[in-house]
Amino acid sequence: MRIPCIGSKDVLVVHHRFPPEIRFEGLIIDLETTSTRPENGEIVNFGVVMDRILVSISRRRNTPVQDFHLTLRCFLDEAERRNYRVFAYNSSFESLWLSHKVGWNGDIYDLMETPRLISDRIRDNLGEHKYPKLRELIYPRFFFVFGIKKWDIDASLVRSKWEEHLRTGKDGPIQWIAHHNLLDLISELEIMLWQDILDRIYRNFERASRYMEFRCDVCGREVSQKDLISVTYLRPKPSGKGYQFVEKAVCRDCMGGVVD
């Protein structure tokens, strides 16, 4: 697979096979950094989706920082050359880092915009509701079956994995970062497919809110949103043939006996 912009630079490249029938005429960008602010951190990994490319690129400890930034800038410049729209989840984060570290100040469409607007409306009704993390919007059920969730790391661990790579020189720690980045990219691509439905929920929020109910599926009591936990697990089918997924909204008092 030929990946543009990389050449012979000493970077770790992890890519995901894109179905040949799919071509994404835009650019999704996702950065992994060692801090929340560019003033006291650095970009150690970035991922892009463009055309038939879905790739995550990690710095190695011997990679010149300027070369790494030029590689990142190359993808952004190529998107501009093709007049592609650039996307990111919580784009203010990417915009800040790209401006500060790479000198790129183009427009980024925020994939978090509609989820944020919906969260604001829920907050108006309930008095509290946090903005969703990417993984809270998209996480395939099979991750729970095959333990794939254990293959991922939380973004808070990026710095420690990078520091481990600096100490040891081994690629293992930055491969964790790259796989986390790839999962982010796939999730962001999927959110784009849901965009029309999310927009309809927001435009018709009053009608959709009629179905907003916070009731425990175990004891039946109405409880506040903060005291209700969503649980997904496997159990045998009543027929005894195979298993089925069960989803329950459970209050904290009933958590101990949720799996029967």
Do the domain assignments include residue 35?
yes
- Distance CA(234)–CA(228), nearest Å, equals 20
Let me know how many helices (H) and strands (E) the chain has, helices first. 8, 8
At 148 the pLDDT is: 67
Residues 165 and 131 in one domain: yes
Phi-psi region of 123 (alpha: psi -120 to 50; beta: other; left: phi over 0): alpha
Do the domain assignments include residue 105?
yes
Residues 196 and 162 in one domain: yes
Structure tokens, 148: 């794939």
Residue tagged 């790739």 (tokens): 55
At 135 the pLDDT is: 78
At 180 the pLDDT is: 93
Residues 173 and 226 in one domain: no
- The pTM of this model reads 0.83
Average pLDDT over residues 124-146: 76
Do the domain assignments include residue 1?
no
At 8 the pLDDT is: 63
Do the domain assignments include residue 200?
yes
Of 14-23, 164-173, 218-227, the one with minimum mean pLDDT is 218-227
Residues 91 and 137 in one domain: yes
Of 61-75, 113-127, 153-167, the one with minimum mean pLDDT is 113-127
At 141 the pLDDT is: 67
Do the domain assignments include residue 235?
yes
pLDDT band of residue 258 (cuts 50, 70, 90) is: low
CB atoms within 10 A of CB 232: 11
Of 87-96, 183-192, 203-212, the one with minimum mean pLDDT is 203-212
pLDDT band of residue 257 (cuts 50, 70, 90) is: low
| Total number of domains constituting the chain | 2
At 144 the pLDDT is: 67
CB atoms within 10 A of CB 185: 21
Mean residue pLDDT of the chain comes to 88
Interaxial angle between packed helices 172-203 and 158-168, expressed in degrees from 0 to 180 and rounded to the nearest 10 = 160
- Distance CA(210)–CA(90), nearest Å, equals 29
At 36 the pLDDT is: 94
At CB < 8 A and 24+ separation, what contacts does 244-247 make? 245/141
Position 99 pLDDT exceeds 70: yes
Range of the domain at 244: 213-257
Position 27 pLDDT exceeds 80: yes
CATH number at residue 187: 3.30.420
